[in-house]
Amino acid sequence: MIFPCHLQELAEKGKKSLCPSNPKISIGLATCGRSSGALDLEKKLAARQSWKSEVFVGGVGCLGACYAEPLVSLRTPDGRYYFYGFHGQADSNSLWQIIRAAEGVPSTRYLLARARERQPGTLRGIQDLELEKVGDPGFALFFKAQARRITGRCGLINPESLPEYVATGGYSALARALFQLQPEDVIAMVAASGLRGRGGAGFLTGKKWELASLSPDPERIVIANADEGDPGAYMDRALLESDPHSVLEGLILASYAVRASRAYVFVRHEYPLAVQNLRRAISAARAVGILGKQILGSGFSLEVHLVESPGAFVCGEETSMLRVMTGKRGEPYLRPPYPSSAGLWGHPTVVNNVETLANIPWIILHGPDAFREVGTEKSPGTKIFCLAGDVKRPGFIEVPLGTSTRAVIEEIGGAAPSSIKALQVGGPSGGIVPYSDFSLDYESVASLGAIMGSGGLVVLNTNRCLVDLARHLVDFMARESCGKCLFCRDGLAELEAMMTSLTNGEARSEVVLAELEELSKAVADMALCGLGKTAVNPVLTSLKFFREEYEAHARGKCPALTCRPLINFEIISSQCRDCRCCYLVCPTDAVKRRGGRELYAVAQEHCIKCRACYETCPFGCIKITSEGRL
């Protein structure tokens, strides 16, 4: 059995591997790094025989700057960090740059930044590093507006190392709660913090816990919802791959607060690395007495089990998830009763998102007032976003709620404001809103007709067709509908068909726009669960803010020149150099040779709109047009 004093022993062990006396090379081995060649890089560095035990080589999680992967950091014995980013080009040359740096000759090539520990030998998170030199200004800007409260360890610690997590302050919040606070005190602190659920709806976490704690049923359950299904969103995955113990500690604290004896993590089976790291974290915690009977020598006991989701998007909805966990088909049921009153097997059940739980240890250690120091009055704290789309620096970021979109898109993401037309906020059920300088908080986003969702943030430039994007998102939601209720099952399918008629040029009048709006509102009003109620948000928001694009499509014209049935390719004869590139590359022989001044022309009846000629022409002689109907 382990007692709180033994946490110090774990911390000392972790400190030795975090801040060793020899050079240490850390390679980002989260999914983003692996997809960029990090595993091969790590394998070659670890196999270098001449180093023997003089240089430590190991893996860490995702630092967040996914655009620069694979990412490698070198820590020198004096507490300096050299961050290298290879932007998908991890070749033999980059390998030698790392080797030379580890052998005492730090290279400036590929160098993103150099930092040092504020107190040499002490590292609790990225907040303990002070920037000394900037190799890539974009890397410094990427982190400048961030507040890495719960993601501070990500990319700096080995996610498989319990000692390293403890060395950075991990499980000290749990020890404090178990020996200094009553369950009611923990609930009061979370309630006072104003923490809202980070999974989408933004319900007050403390209120949900309080409802469960007041139940007369002594059997209570807590579930960490890691069934992340939004395309382009990977907040949960990044946390679980990079810092699984932070989520596990939050889950244990939530269970202690509501006096639960059982807890579960419901995670997508499409996240194999997250599942692997979670299993190892649970096993490691159980081995040292942080899970199981009489945790840390206290009177509190808890067992945590991992359940893999079958993968359907609707399973992320809490009532669908509860049905799946009891062996039934994943489909929602009517509320009330809410899970906090009667959930899994009829017992009061608290369901919290992964990011929500990762906030709990921070609140217990620093207090609710400190938590409210950033964010807004109604939306305190920080929020993780996955920044994607038309930006220079996509990645996994954490900023205070209320941060302006300008700071996120232009400063962190590096996008030129003149190039941005819209933002897709909150995943496929969020909304498509014009790009402007508004606050990223629950109230501001809701005022636009969208929802914050779990934190997906896709930047869309002026070349994007928002009608086609809305159609794509509706199609995704229609396919993911469980089919239980008529308006979601058939309404979304009909809505997608109407959207397709617009992008195919088959809508013959603007009457279809009124029908789109009417059907969208009906689906939102009549659908049973949150999937159907929010699935139409992309249509309603894009109709509200970009109606002129819909009107153009109703006339057979695509302003963005991307909907294939509505565009044509024309060869500008006056600029043609007779290089034959378009003629040779066309897969359907649609480019025809002509006589006289018009050397080449496109036979539209044979053109499949593959863009091969347009993208191949070295002289810009081919233009795309969308004339529409008169």
Percent helix, strand and coil across the chain, each rounded to 5? Answer: 45, 20, 40
Encoded amino acid at 614, one letter: Y
* Residue 578 pLDDT > 60: yes
Strands 221-226 and 349-353, sheet pairing: parallel
- Which sign does the torsion angle of CA 460, 462, 467, 471 carry? negative
Q: Is 104 exposed, middle or buried (0-12, 13-18, 19+ CB in 10 A)?
A: exposed
- Which pLDDT value is given to residue 224? 96
- Sequence-separated (6 or more) residues with CB below 8 Å from residue 113: 83, 131, 133, 134, 135, 136, 139, 140
- Which pLDDT value is given to residue 116? 96
Using DSSP, state whether 326 is helix, strand or coil. Answer: coil
Using DSSP, state whether 475 is helix, strand or coil. Answer: helix
Encoded amino acid at 465, one letter: C
- Which pLDDT value is given to residue 316? 85
* Residue 238 pLDDT > 70: yes
* Residue 597 pLDDT > 80: no
pLDDT band at 1 (very low <50, low <70, confident <90, very high): very low
* Residue 469 pLDDT > 70: yes
Query: Whole-angstrom distance between the N-terminal and C-terminal Cα of the chain?
Result: 81
Give yes or no for a contact between 520 and 539, defined as CB atoms under 8 angstroms apart: yes
- Greater pLDDT, 66 or 455: 66
Q: What is the mean pLDDT of residues 112-134?
A: 95
Q: What is the mean pLDDT of residues 371-383?
A: 96
Q: Which residues of 275-301 are buried (b: 16+ CB within 10 A; e: fewer)?
A: bebbebbbebbeebbbbeeebbbbebe
- Which pLDDT value is given to residue 273? 96
The whole-angstrom distance between residue 133's C-alpha and the CA centroid of its chain comes to 29
pLDDT band at 375 (very low <50, low <70, confident <90, very high): very high
Kindly state the percentage of the chain with pLDDT values over 70: 98
* Residue 226 pLDDT > 50: yes
Cα distance between residue 534 and residue 536, in whole Å: 5
Encoded amino acid at 15, one letter: K
Cα distance between residue 415 and residue 408, in whole Å: 9
Ranges 119-133, 158-172, 310-324, 427-441: which has the least confidence: 310-324
* Side-chain half-sphere CA neighbours of 189 within 13 A: 24
Q: What is the mean pLDDT of residues 22-30?
A: 95
Q: Which residues of 487-526 are buried (b: 16+ CB within 10 A; e: fewer)?
A: bbbebbbebbebbbbbbebebeeeebbeebbebbeebbee
- Which pLDDT value is given to residue 623? 94
Cα distance between residue 610 and residue 482, in whole Å: 35
- Sequence-separated (6 or more) residues with CB below 8 Å from residue 121: 15, 19, 79
Alpha helices in 259-348 (DSSP H): 272-287, 318-325
pLDDT tens-digit map of 243-283: 999 999 999 999 999 999 999 999 988 899 999 999 999 99
Backbone torsions φ then ψ of 525, nearest 5 degrees? -75, -35
Cα distance between residue 411 and residue 149, in whole Å: 19
Beta bridge partners of 571: 622
Backbone torsions φ then ψ of 116, nearest 5 degrees? -140, 155
- Which pLDDT value is given to residue 89? 83
Cα distance between residue 158 and residue 148, in whole Å: 17
Beta bridge partners of 593: 600
Dihedral, CA of residue 370, residue 372, residue 374 and residue 377, to nearest 10: -160
Ranges 319-328, 481-490, 549-558: which has the least confidence: 481-490
- Give the number of other CB atoms < 10 A from CB of residue 241: 28
Give yes or no for a contact between 268 and 226, defined as CB atoms under 8 angstroms apart: yes
The whole-angstrom distance between residue 323's C-alpha and the CA centroid of its chain comes to 26
Cα distance between residue 517 and residue 190, in whole Å: 40
Kindly report the pTM of this predicted structure.
0.93
Angle, to 10 degrees, between the axis of helix 244-258 and the axis of helix 205-213?
Answer: 40
Cα distance between residue 51 and residue 103, in whole Å: 9
Cα distance between residue 617 and residue 580, in whole Å: 9
- Greater pLDDT, 89 or 325: 325
Q: Which residue has the tokens 């305190």?
A: 380
Q: Which residue has the tokens 């022309």?
A: 601
Give yes or no for a contact between 426 and 444, defined as CB atoms under 8 angstroms apart: no
Find, among 39, 101, 49, 98, the residue nearest to 70 by Cα: 39
* Residue 457 pLDDT > 90: yes
The whole-angstrom distance between residue 30's C-alpha and the CA centroid of its chain comes to 13
pLDDT band at 630 (very low <50, low <70, confident <90, very high): low
* Residue 201 pLDDT > 80: no
* Residue 3 pLDDT > 60: no
pLDDT tens-digit map of 400-455: 999 999 999 999 999 999 999 999 998 888 899 999 999 999 999 999 988 888 88
E strand residue ranges, 418-542? 420-425, 431-434, 456-461
